[in-house]
Structure 1
Amino acid sequence: MNADNRRQDIADYVIQHGEARIDELVTAFGVSRMTIHRHVDELARQGVLRKLHGAVSAQPSGVYESLFRFRETHAAAAKRALARAALAEIEPGQVVLLDDSTTANALGPLLPQVAPLTVVTNSLSLAEQLVDKDELKLILLGGEYHPTYNAFIGHICENALQKIRVNLLICSASAIDKTATLIQDPQVVRVKQAMAAAASRSVLLIDSSKFGKVALHLFADLTDFDLVLSDDGLPDEVAGSLKAAGVNLKIVPVQ
């Protein structure tokens, strides 16, 4: 196993368990304490994990929360509910653009229900789900592959988006502060903004845990989206204030 793969496995292990002792990692991965410390130091430097005395924590940071494997397991029931609600916004025959969010990724298994469909995405995970589905034409945006997001981002991806037009964008964001949608990574912001510019209509899927949070970069205002879907964990007073601010908000029950 090469160093990158072992670091990813260590990060996955700590994410799954929330916290792990150094000795526990030595046993789990069958390597020396020096090797574990070297990998942990690098993961801490990247902001993925946090070092404690004799242990490693998966306490979230901006980078940690960006990890696809963390996002995939966070608020999973709410994301499935939002994906089901988003499916109703798609019409057969449309060209639909899906971002690299794990909420949009949850739409993957549902899309054959509204085929025929053309799906454009920068998400490798979503592409892998759809590559062999009947009546689904897949267009995968190019760019630099970024393992943190399991997606393609960067200049090439942005340029590709400038050359297409789609019926519908379905996307998400990292955090919501009042009516501002926020994302930690500026490269991801640029790609999502290019996606929004390419779409005739846009739908934001945002689970309730992201409200009242902050990330570094502004993506868009909630009023910029034709529809915002969130789950019923969102407090009534927050939902009311958003609607009063002009946000077209629909609350989705989580079953």
Structure 2
Amino acid sequence: MAAKARLSQAGVEQRRQAVLRYVADHGALRIDALADRFDVSLMTMHRDLDDLAARHLLRKERGRAVAFPALTMETATRFREGAGLAAKTALCAAVAGRITPGSTVLMDDSTTLYPLAGLLARRDPADGITVLTNSVGLAQRLGAVPGVDVTLLGGRYHGEFNSCTGPEVGGALARLHADLVLTSATAVLDGRLFHPLREYVEVKEAMLAAAEEAVLLVDHAKFGKRATYAYGTAARYGTVVTDTATPAGEVAALRATGAAVQVVRSKP
């Protein structure tokens, strides 16, 4: 029997993300069953699970892999960053025009907003945009864009999410006034918004209170789910931007809250 071709590092990571999703769907699975499911040796599956556990994406217990509580793994930056990039880029392109010259913009730690850095880099540096964010990753990307002045809202740093929360962030936001806030949501169901971690809900709410206008960017993958903490409905946002793959019933539920909904098409 011919030996299997050795996967590239990208191929290994693709398999590990598939393992992660499979465990998340089932809650807990025996490691030998996972090895059979993904047609790899028991040693290879142990390596995959050790890597995912080290990144705080699941728990590895005696003989089995266990998913974190609902949706927690979806909040981890390392998992989210490369997911749904085409849809995220389309959403950012739809809202980039709302960022006017001289404006002050709040942005949360959503990786949905990462493509904005490339879009803003195409603009005239004389526009003089100010961005305040609790996301280290977003601050790094926007900090390299000419004409964008970035303030990182520091507090308790969460390495797995590469962002900050806590009273320091909330206190800073209470003293600010922004023209626009751009955020996303981890889960949306029937027009209601959810997040698995309370401290991130607190940051989102403080940002909403500090801004004149609010826009929610949420791609189709976030719909039809709940998480531990509900924080109101889409009515808290003047506009919700989503993509064409979002179920029609969920789009109707967003509109029923009174929010204006913009549906955009993403390139494959």
1:12-55 CA deviation, whole Å, 9 max, x = no partner? 787435267551166689xxxxxx5xx87xx39x9731558856
The answer to whether residue 207 in structure 2 is matched with residue 195 in structure 1 is yes
Distance 2:47 2:188 in 1: 40
- Hey, what does 1:250 align to over in structure 2? 262
1:208 partnered with 2:220: yes
Structure 1 counterpart of 2:256, one-letter code: A
Q: Given that residues 191 and 250 in structure 2 are in contact (C-alpha distance below 8 angstroms), is that contact kept between their aligned partners in structure 1? A: no
Note the alpha carbon deviations across 1:204-245, whole angstroms, 9 max, x for none: 001112111001112231011010000000123332343234
Distance of 1:28 and 1:171 partners within structure 2: 32
Question: Unmatched 5+ residue regions in structure 2?
Answer: 1-12, 21-33, 36-41
Count of residues paired in the alignment: 234
Structure-to-structure mapping, 1:213-228, within 5 angstroms: 213-228=225-240
% identical equivalent positions: 33
TM-score normalised over the length of structure 1: 0.81
Q: What does residue 249 of structure 2 align with?
A: 237
Match of 1:171 in 2: 183
TM (norm. structure 2) is 0.77
Question: 1:117 Cα deviation (Å)?
Answer: 0.6
Aligned ranges 1:65-104 → 2 under 5 Å = 65-104=74-113
Q: CA deviation at 1:106?
A: 2.2
Matched, 1:16 2:17: yes
Q: Which amino acid is the alignment partner of residue 18 of structure 1?
A: V
Aligned partner of 2:78: which letter? Answer: R
Q: Deviations over 1:123-152 (max 9, x none)?
A: 101111122332111111111110121101
Report what 1:161 is aligned to.
173
- 5 Å-filtered alignment, 1:22-37, equals 23-24=43-44, 36=50
Cα pair 1:47 1:61 within 8 Å, conserved:
no
In the alignment, what sits opposite 2:25? Answer: none
Instruction: Go from structure 1 to structure 2 and tell me whether the alpha carbon gap of 1:135 and 1:149 turns closer, same or farther (over 3 Å shift).
Output: same
Q: Secondary structure at the match of 1:149?
A: coil
CA offsets 1:153-198 (integer angstroms, 9 cap, x no match): 1111111111111000000011112121111100000011001111
Give the secondary structure class of the aligned counterpart of 1:228.
strand
Quote the RMSD (CA, aligned, Å).
3.0
Secondary structure of 2:164's partner? strand
SS in 2 for 1:113: coil
Larger CA deviation: 175-184 vs 110-119: 110-119
Distance 2:79 2:229 in 1: 20
Structure 1 unmatched ranges of 5 or more: 1-11, 30-35
